[in-house]
Amino acid sequence: MAKIIGGITSSHIPAVGNAITQGLTQEPYWKRFFDGYQPAVKWLEEAKPDVIIVVYNDHGLNFFLDKIPTFAIGCADKYINADEGWGLNAVGDFEGDQAFSWHLAESLVEQEFDICTCQEMKVDHGFVNPMRVLLEKEKDWGVKVVPFAVNTVQHPVPSGKRCLKIGEALGKAIESYPEDLRVVIFGTGGMSHQLQGERAGLINVDFDIETMESVISEPEKFASLSNAEIIEQAGTEGIETIMWLVMRGALQPDAKLIHKHYHAPISNTGAGVLVLENQ
């Protein structure tokens, strides 16, 4: 049967992609941020996943404001990266696992989560940058992927509670797959940031730290906040952090904390890395 090895959280800041492309990761501005990933990089290498499920939000590349599913899952054999406007170089294609994706979709619908299935899906920085930082590759990823998109960009955005619940259903879906797959889940986005409007530049370190602690040991606490409460504390784009709850919901409640790192600011964002391992 498929087995969930663990999960990793990561922001997905576009500038991180440019820092990698330009070879700046050891420059003083970037070093602490990238150093904070090293234990996660090492853990992932040792975890040897067959498939990584990447929970992320599309930023206007594959979906646009005219049509935006609340939850969508990739069911393709290949996913192509493109830049939706940040000037990022495209990285190599990602190999999908169609049979596994369709199993997840079927199981989620059976569990009353009516998810959008995508047989073609372009992936943007929200998906690609965590892959680049955590696998330290730009192509030939050596692992299959399942993109899992959550609408965090246009009202109405699902609640944290809903994300935690769909995560629990995703966990059951994964563990009911008969093949012996090793699965790791990335929860991407966040943490506090606001890119526009009067509060542009907002970062809330205290709230981010509290959120990380809640995601580790008491996800219901973060999940009980309304989206308005999260946005008030963490900024409009800070709402992306609800995607961590999809990953968290799929893991065991007593999943073990392997690594925790927080760095702010980087680009416009407070960036948190967590590695949680199932027992």
Interacting residues toward ligand DHB by CB under 6 A = 12-15, 59, 189, 193, 195, 237, 240, 267-269
Euclidean distance between CA atoms 177 and 167, whole angstroms: 16
- Tell the smallest beta-carbon distance from residue 13 to ligand DHB (Å): 4
Provide the residue count of the chain.
Answer: 279
- Tell the smallest beta-carbon distance from residue 100 to ligand DHB (Å): 27
Token match 């990761």: residue? 25
Euclidean distance between CA atoms 162 and 71, whole angstroms: 10
Q: Which of 125, 259, 261, 263 is catalytic?
A: 125
- Tell the smallest beta-carbon distance from residue 108 to ligand DHB (Å): 25
Q: Which is nearer to ligand DHB, 264 or 276 (CB)?
A: 264
Q: Which is nearer to ligand DHB, 12 or 144 (CB)?
A: 12
Token match 């070879």: residue? 23
Instruction: Extract the tokens encoding 22.
Output: 């330009």
Q: Which is nearer to ligand DHB, 9 or 117 (CB)?
A: 9
Q: Which of 12, 59, 103, 193 is catalytic?
A: 193
Q: Which is nearer to ligand DHB, 196 or 252 (CB)?
A: 196
Longest distance between any two alpha carbons in the chain, whole Å? 51
Does the annotation count 125 as an active-site position? Answer: yes
Query: What sections of the chain are H helices per DSSP?
Result: 14-21, 28-35, 38-47, 98-110, 125-135, 160-175, 205-217, 219-223, 227-234, 243-250
- Tell the smallest beta-carbon distance from residue 187 to ligand DHB (Å): 13
Q: What residues act catalytically?
A: 125, 193
